[in-house]
Amino acid sequence: MAQPSDDQLRAILVDMVGARVQARRLWNLQRQGQVGTLAPIDGHEAAIAATAHALDPEQDWIFPQYREPLALQRFGAEVLDRYLLYNVGHPAGSHLPPAVRVAPLQISLATQIPHAVGLAWGMTLQNQPGVVTVFFGDGSSSEGDFYEAGNLAGVLGVPVIFLCINNQWAISTPLHQQTAAETIAAKAAAFGMPGLTVDGNDAAAMYDAVDEARTRALAGQGPTLIEALLYRLGAHTTADDPTRYVPAEELEEARRNDPTERLRVHLVERGLWDDEAHTATEAAALARFDEAFDRARTTPIAPDAVLDHCTTVDSQRLARQRALLLDPEGAES
Ligand SMILES: Cc1ncc(C[n+]2csc(CCOP(=O)(O)OP(=O)(O)O)c2C)c(N)n1
Ligand SMILES: [Mg+2]
């Protein structure tokens, strides 16, 4: 058992509080038409932030789905920059700066899972240290990619942590229509790896589970499937109206278990946190956000930027397309 230290718990709460206020600001910007569709983080904060704190940004990798980026800033300020570029529709938002070990967010469900296993396999072959953590939802766990990647990871024994964020909804599909299995963790048995269900609203429990899976992976003992059981407290995305399908009493019950409030109360009771720290954390996160958003908004988009990073070297066809984008009239003549 590796419990997080008091300092680590405080740092996890800072990330959780910051991610939530930043997500609220983004939601408002979306309503003002300044950014595209996005997915709120409410209810996922402990599972994501505690996981990031149990990992080492210097050697471990994270493959997110689409709700994680704001709570992953421990892996580098560029994570926020890239996420905001993505939200304002800048092609650079989908590119991977080599020094930041967080892959771009993924919307095509579960496709990030084989990518994560492939990277971990490559790291093993090249004798590189570190583990790869891949986030995916309960909905993604029904995709073929999850089963193929899980099977391959089990056979190869690669250092991967499969981190299923089970928020009990996939848009309007409830968990009981997603799987007849008792838990998502149970599926690990078929891959030949350990699987455990963790209280995803409990930051310390999440830290502990990820730390243990990481230790196993680093010792060459292979992958682990961790199911973080929590509840989606917000809408699926800015395009969704969950009041049409989420039972009000179920949501109310889940709100009583809000992970951020739970950790805040725990730290206040132990004299490790107070209102002043909370307010200062929110203000600092918003200041950081506003500065990064300004940068994203004012970053020029070259007409051919959409073709950058498609391939290492432009093919003749790509070069022709690039010329066309840069000078549509010139290319016509
Ligand atoms: C391959 C694929 N199929 C369908 C969709 C449409 N879609 C977008 S989000 C979503 C639900 C995903 O649920 P889950 O994996 O539980 O993640 P959550 O949104 O709950 O965080 C679906 C079906 C998609 N993006 N990709
Ligand atoms: Mg879900």
Helix (H) or strand (E) holding 292: helix 275-298
Mean of the pLDDT values across residues 44-56?
98
Mean of the pLDDT values across residues 234-260?
98
Residue closest to 15 by CA, chosen among 64, 56, 52, 66: 52
Spell out the SS3 assignment of 199-241: ECCCHHHHHHHHHHHHHHHHCCCCCEEEEEECCCCCCCCCCCC
In the chain, % of residues over pLDDT 70: 99
* Active-site annotation, residues: 232, 236, 245
d(Cα 47, Cα 233) in Å, to the nearest integer? 14
Q: Is the dihedral of CA 186, 187, 191, 196 positive or negative?
A: negative
Q: Could you tell me if 227 and 197 are in contact, meaning their C-beta atoms sit under 8 angstroms apart? A: yes
| CATH code reported for the domain at 6-301 | 3.40.50.970
Residue closest to 224 by CA, chosen among 236, 210, 245, 237: 210
Strand partners, 135: 163
Q: Could you tell me if 2 and 269 are in contact, meaning their C-beta atoms sit under 8 angstroms apart? A: no
Cβ partners under 8 Å of residue 74, min gap 6: 11, 15, 49, 52, 53, 57
* Residue position matching structure tokens 């304002």: 88
Q: What would the pLDDT profile of 137-149 be if each residue is shown by its tens digit?
A: 999 999 999 999 9
Helix (H) or strand (E) holding 11: helix 6-31
Q: How many residues does the chain have?
A: 333
Pairing of strands 169-170, 160-166: unpaired
Ligand 1 center–CA 109 separation, angstroms: 5
d(Cα 103, Cα 101) in Å, to the nearest integer? 6
Asked whether residue 208 carries a pLDDT value surpassing 80, the answer given is: yes
Which atom of ligand 1 lies closest to the CA of 236?
19
Question: Which residue puts its alpha carbon closest to atom 3 of ligand 1?
Answer: 109
pLDDT of residue 321: 94
Q: What are phi and psi of 34, to 5 degrees?
A: -90, -20
Ligand 2 center–CA 182 separation, angstroms: 16
pLDDT of residue 1: 64
d(Cα 223, Cα 155) in Å, to the nearest integer? 10
d(Cα 291, Cα 275) in Å, to the nearest integer? 24
Q: How far is CA 26 from CA 110, 167, 294, in A?
A: 25, 21, 13
User: Which protein residues are within 6 Å of ligand 1, measured from CB?
Assistant: 67, 107-109, 137-140, 165, 167, 169-171, 232, 236
**Token duo for residue 69:** 């980026």
Q: How high does pLDDT run on average in the chain?
A: 96
Question: Which residue puts its alpha carbon closest to atom 11 of ligand 1?
Answer: 170
Asked whether residue 333 carries a pLDDT value surpassing 60, the answer given is: no
Ordered DSSP codes for 46-63: HHHHHHHHHS-TTT-EEE
Residue closest to 163 by CA, chosen among 143, 144, 184: 184
Q: What would the pLDDT profile of 84-139 be if each residue is shown by its tens digit?
A: 999 999 988 888 777 799 999 999 999 999 999 999 999 999 999 999 999 999 99
d(Cα 213, Cα 194) in Å, to the nearest integer? 9
Q: Is 218 exposed, middle or buried (0-12, 13-18, 19+ CB in 10 A)?
A: middle
Which atom of ligand 1 lies closest to the CA of 169?
20
Which segments of 66-202 does DSSP mark as H helices, in order? 78-87, 112-125, 144-156, 175-178, 188-191
Ligand 1 center–CA 188 separation, angstroms: 21
* SS3 category, 195: strand
Asked whether residue 331 carries a pLDDT value surpassing 70, the answer given is: no
pLDDT of residue 60: 98
Cα–Cα–Cα angle for 125, 82, 57, rounded to 5 degrees: 45
Which atom of ligand 1 lies closest to the CA of 137?
15
* Domain range list for the chain: 6-301, 304-333
pLDDT band at 312 (very low <50, low <70, confident <90, very high): confident
pLDDT band at 38 (very low <50, low <70, confident <90, very high): very high
